[in-house]
Amino acid sequence: MISINRQSDYAIQLVVALSKVSKKAPLSLKKFSTDSNISFLFLQRIARSLKNAKLINSSRGMYGGYFLVKAINKITAKEIMEAVDGPFGVAACFRGHACPRVKTCTSKQVLNSLNIQLNNILSSMIIADYIVKVK
């Protein structure tokens, strides 16, 4: 079964939370960790990856925290997942790894089609479209 790992799940949750704050009032990672019951150290690693991908940034100081750099209506599920997990691919051979069975693989066409379709879906999923508006 194909599933999204915990790191991608939490990264999406963090980006959604960051969509509700601004650069002038950033989100404390410590507070988000406590509120969401996610390990602070794990969130730090996720935030670092998202920052390296230029999706988020941080400010230091007493009122520091994290905020989005890219508009939420421009961020895709694929961007977030690749920021924390590396290149998308349903199998190792689609993530740039060499396969000893490349010449004899009987499932390559099926997996390639699946890879293309999932890639297209994740690339078209704009996170802003899935955020529930709460008044």
pTM (two decimals): 0.88
Tokens representing 20? 């509700």
List beta partners, residue 47. Answer: none
Q: Which helix (H) or strand (E) holds 49?
A: helix 40-52
Assign 125 to helix, strand or coil: coil
- Residues 8-45: tens digit of each pLDDT: 999 999 999 999 998 889 999 999 999 999 999 999 99
Q: Which domains does the chain have, with CATH numbers?
A: 6-130 (1.10.10.10)
- Residues 52-80: tens digit of each pLDDT: 999 999 999 888 899 999 999 999 999 99
Question: What CA–CA distances, in Å, run from 84 to 28, 30, 79?
Answer: 20, 19, 9
pLDDT at residue number 71? 94
One DSSP character per residue, 52-86 reads HTTSEEEE-STT-EEEESS-GGG-BHHHHHHHHH-
Residue 81 · residue 88 · CB < 8 Å: yes
